[in-house]
Structure 1
Amino acid sequence: MPVLSARGLTKRFGGFTATDGVNLDVAQGTIHALIGPNGAGKSTLFALLTKFHTPTAGQILLDGEDITRLSPPEIVRRGMVRSFQISAVFPHLTLLENVRVALQRRVGLDRQFWRPASALSRLDGQAMELLDQVGLADHAHSLASAMSYGRKRTLEIATTLALDPRVMLLDEPMAGMGREDVVLIESLIRRVARGRTVLMVEHNLGVVETLADRVTVLARGAVLAEGSFAEIRANAEVRRSYMGSDHG
């Protein structure tokens, strides 16, 4: 049974159909990539799966349970967490403090606003372990604003891991990166995916080829093709619609 599924998932904004009857199955313990041209509906699909948008029609299943009507916080509590295209970190907090904020939610301290800041120090050990896991332990006490773009994205993955997800949705994790940062994040995703399921939107086909166990191609809001990267690359319809060629 897939860990995450969509059935006939449709989203209309007025007269515009952003996703049109999308069916998707993401297998447990795999890295599954969504690709497609700009405007294909990839980010909308992400927002639907994590309930930042409400579907016009269709169903979302997590571990076989219908989660279509749940709120984003309820989705997180069930172990599915997403990142965003734009790095979402607190720039004027240190890396350690950023991860600690995410840990507060996991251990139930996020609503205990009356506690002094010193009460959060018991989370420092876990926060340091997460920063070490993503290679940022040496920068724990540096401000996030002082970090390179690649390290900010790495920090965002650390804060995602702090929520202990079983399913991670990564929205264009390589966007805006140079080659050196791409290699860094690529290696990190491979490492953190062990024991987890990852669904990622990614435009860099080299990264998709390297990381993805399975690939779904969207075009005009609908599924155009699905398979291994080799199968997708060999698909003539995909080459015409997405890669712009009938050859190679």
Structure 2
Amino acid sequence: MEIALQATGLTKEFKGFVAVNNVDLSIEKGTIHALIGPNGAGKTTCFNLLTKFLQPTRGTIKYEGRDITRMKPAEIARLGMVRSFQISAIFPDLTVLQNVRVALQRGRGESYDFWRSDKILSRFDDRARAFIDEVGLTEFTDERAAALPYGRKRALEIATTLALSPDMLLLDEPMAGMGREDVERISKLIQKIAENRTVLMVEHNLSVVADLSDRITVLARGEILAEGTYDEISKAPEVIEAYIGASHD
């Protein structure tokens, strides 16, 4: 078993309030791992710690065996661990192609020079089109991002993340606000991109978690309540009481 991402004793305190308490977490390479829990469980804080948008009060985080505890998000992105929406938002007035081209340039440490000629910028087009095709947006290549339906915008955000060439992808509630058709589309997309990458996701949609996840960690009150496959955690009385039961009474 190879471990892609490992947290040991991960703790975050906010002025005496312990939001995440002594969490040990191991994400196997090549798997889809879900982080779930009821509201206030500490999922978002834990996710922000792992992606380095917050610094832990105590504990260590290792990626591919390397200590990244004190690194910044941009530094770990260069190591191959990228959070979705790392390019904070899509550019609404740019086309789908131009958005992915921005990400490709940033992935190579270049600024996006809007005044450059199309001939110079077009050297990124072939790779950009490959990522656009991978997320199913080929027919929208020349559409303005602002004109895309919500689910397609999320797909574009994933495409810009993939353009940074991650080995591990961390997705924060990828299905939030989506209708059934978009959920099915993005679920298939996550399955596809996970074929040769490790994925960690925070997700509220339990049917998505059941269908996609190889392993699930359940948080409650900032601590790990249970961990295992969906079949295992869905039968655990403490999980039913704290999370599943509360959601489906």
Deviations 1:160-206 (A, max 9, x none): 10001000000000000000000000000000111100000011110
Tell me how far apart the structure 2 counterparts of residues 239 and 94 of structure 1 sit (CA, whole Å): 45
Are the equivalent residues in 2 in contact too, given 1:225–1:232 (CA < 8 A)? yes
Instruction: Please report the TM-score for the alignment, with normalisation by the length of structure 1.
Output: 0.94
Secondary structure of the corresponding residue to residue 218 of structure 1: strand
Secondary structure of the corresponding residue to residue 43 of structure 1: helix
Q: Supply the AA of the counterpart residue of 2:68.
A: I
Identity of aligned residues (%): 59
Matches within 5 A, 1:79-118: 79-84=80-85, 88-110=89-111, 113=113, 116-118=116-118
Q: 1:124 to 1:84 in 2, by over 3 A?
A: closer
Tell me how far apart the structure 2 counterparts of residues 18 and 68 of structure 1 sit (CA, whole Å): 17
- 1:46 corresponds in structure 2 to 47
- 2:166 corresponds in structure 1 to 165
Q: Alignment length, in residue pairs?
A: 245
Mean CA deviation greater in 101-110 or 203-212: 101-110
Tell me how far apart the structure 2 counterparts of residues 46 and 187 of structure 1 sit (CA, whole Å): 23
Are the equivalent residues in 2 in contact too, given 1:150–1:177 (CA < 8 A)? yes
Secondary structure of the corresponding residue to residue 196 of structure 2: coil
Structure 1 unaligned residues grouped into runs of 5+: none
Tell me how far apart the structure 2 counterparts of residues 231 and 35 of structure 1 sit (CA, whole Å): 14
The answer to whether structure 1 residue 195 and structure 2 residue 196 are counterparts is yes
Matches within 5 A, 1:145-164: 145-164=146-165
Tell me how far apart the structure 2 counterparts of residues 147 and 97 of structure 1 sit (CA, whole Å): 14
- 1:30 corresponds in structure 2 to 31
Tell me how far apart the structure 2 counterparts of residues 82 and 44 of structure 1 sit (CA, whole Å): 14
Secondary structure of the corresponding residue to residue 195 of structure 2: coil
Q: What's the Cα RMSD here?
A: 1.9
Are the equivalent residues in 1 in contact too, given 2:11–2:22 (CA < 8 A)? yes
- How far does residue 107 in structure 1 lie from its aligned partner after superposition? 2.3
The answer to whether structure 1 residue 211 and structure 2 residue 176 are counterparts is no
Tell me how far apart the structure 2 counterparts of residues 12 and 32 of structure 1 sit (CA, whole Å): 25
- 2:125 corresponds in structure 1 to 124
Instruction: Please report the TM-score for the alignment, with normalisation by the length of structure 2.
Output: 0.94
Secondary structure of the corresponding residue to residue 20 of structure 2: strand
Q: Supply the AA of the counterpart residue of 1:216.
A: T
- 2:22 corresponds in structure 1 to 21
Q: 1:129 to 1:84 in 2, by over 3 A?
A: closer
Secondary structure of the corresponding residue to residue 35 of structure 2: strand
- 1:71 corresponds in structure 2 to 72
Are the equivalent residues in 2 in contact too, given 1:92–1:144 (CA < 8 A)? yes
Structure 2 unaligned residues grouped into runs of 5+: none
Tell me how far apart the structure 1 counterparts of residues 25 and 199 of structure 2 sit (CA, whole Å): 14
Tell me how far apart the structure 1 counterparts of residues 30 and 214 of structure 2 sit (CA, whole Å): 10
Tell me how far apart the structure 2 counterparts of residues 10 and 123 of structure 1 sit (CA, whole Å): 42
- 1:242 corresponds in structure 2 to 243
Deviations 1:38-57 (A, max 9, x none): 11111111111111101111
Q: Supply the AA of the counterpart residue of 2:26.
A: D
Q: 1:114 to 1:182 in 2, by over 3 A?
A: closer
Secondary structure of the corresponding residue to residue 92 of structure 2: coil
- 1:222 corresponds in structure 2 to 223
Q: Supply the AA of the counterpart residue of 1:208.
A: V
- How far does residue 84 in structure 1 lie from its aligned partner after superposition? 5.0
Tell me how far apart the structure 1 counterparts of residues 163 and 51 of structure 2 sit (CA, whole Å): 18
Tell me how far apart the structure 1 counterparts of residues 101 and 5 of structure 2 sit (CA, whole Å): 28
- 1:10 corresponds in structure 2 to 11
Tell me how far apart the structure 1 counterparts of residues 117 and 59 of structure 2 sit (CA, whole Å): 44
